Amino acid sequence: MGWVLVAVSSGAEARLGELSETSVLAAGGTPNGWTCLSDTGPLHAGALRFTAATEGLGVLRNALEAAGPIDAAILPAARFGRKRLLISDMDSTIIGQECIDEIADAVGLKAKISEITERAMRGELDFEAALTERVAMLKGLPLGALARTLEERITLNPGARTLIATMKAHGAATLLVSGGFTYFTSRVAELAGFESHQGNTLIDDGATLTGEVGRPILGREAKRTALLEAAAALGASAEETLAMGDGANDLDMIRASGLGVAYRAKPVVAAEAAGSIRHTDLTAALFFQGYKASEFVLD
């Protein structure tokens, strides 16, 4: 079967193509030509077309990971190309934090709440139940704490604005979809450049949080639905979408997409995504679609 391997590294430089070909051969595949996507810093990237049996792909991924700090996507040749929709998780993907954990710090509950968050993102807890439990702990928190959290603690991950601006410049739609809260999705979407956003709603009494979250809760299934509905609105197929995330509640939309990308993700997510970013930055998702560095829209 025909496949494409896209490899991205901040350090492998000229050896990246050689390492990719060696890894394909070690997995029993046949390399069919390396295309350089960026031969200048800060990142080096290229695409290698190859043929291989599906059962050899796990060996290939392991060989690449052993070769060095390389981020890679392995996908069928028919799915390689620029996507018409970018749909992404927010917490720990577009931003470097989990918003609810940072809010919790204002009431001295960060350690307790972040432990629940971590277990939910690993898929060990039901997402809706875990979110309801954590929000209940925030009852009575002044609304001003949300603004302080946003201003003092929330930061975009490297490459976020370039990823979004480049895809928009080439005609893609962009949607931020989060199991977090609309207070943050609305502001992060604007900061990062997303055209639209979806999230959960924190209920308040005008001064403080009530400890409740609006229903229905946007979770794992809702993220998949958001992808399918946004693609349909564009007249696009699910294969023409790029979905990114880090936690178990992102799995359904990653599975439904044409290119699923795990960003510094939990093992259960990284194992299912076609592309994984662990070492570089979010612009690797552009290389995974075949963009060249010269086409990036820089912030």
Q: For residue 49, with 0-12 CB atoms within 10 Å meaning exposed, 13-18 middle and 19 or more buried, which class applies?
A: middle
Pairing of β 70-76 and β 275-277: antiparallel
Q: Write the DSSP assignment of 99-139 as a string of letters.
A: HHHHHHGGGT-HHHHHHHHHHHHTTSS-HHHHHHHHHHTTT
Q: Is 281 a catalytic residue?
A: no
Pairing of β 70-76 and β 44-51: unpaired
Q: How far apart are CA 72 and CA 176, in angstroms?
A: 23
Q: Is 91 a catalytic residue?
A: yes
Give, for 268, the enclosing helix (H) or strand (E): helix 267-270
Q: How far apart are CA 219 and CA 179, in angstroms?
A: 6
Q: Where are the beta strands (DSSP E) in the chain?
A: 2-9, 30-38, 44-51, 70-76, 85-88, 173-181, 196-200, 202-204, 209-213, 241-245, 259-263, 275-277
Q: Pick the catalytic residue: 91, 246, 250, 281?
A: 91
Q: Pick the catalytic residue: 89, 250, 252, 281?
A: 89
Residue 92: left if φ>0, alpha if ψ -120 to 50, beta else—which one? left
Assess contact for 274 and 283: CB atoms under 8 A: no
Q: Which two tokens stand for residue 201?
A: 């709603």
Nearest by Cα to 250 from 236, 265, 232, 230: 265
Assess contact for 22 and 28: CB atoms under 8 A: no
Q: How many helices (H) and strands (E) does the chain have?
A: 12, 12
The catalytic residue positions are 89, 91
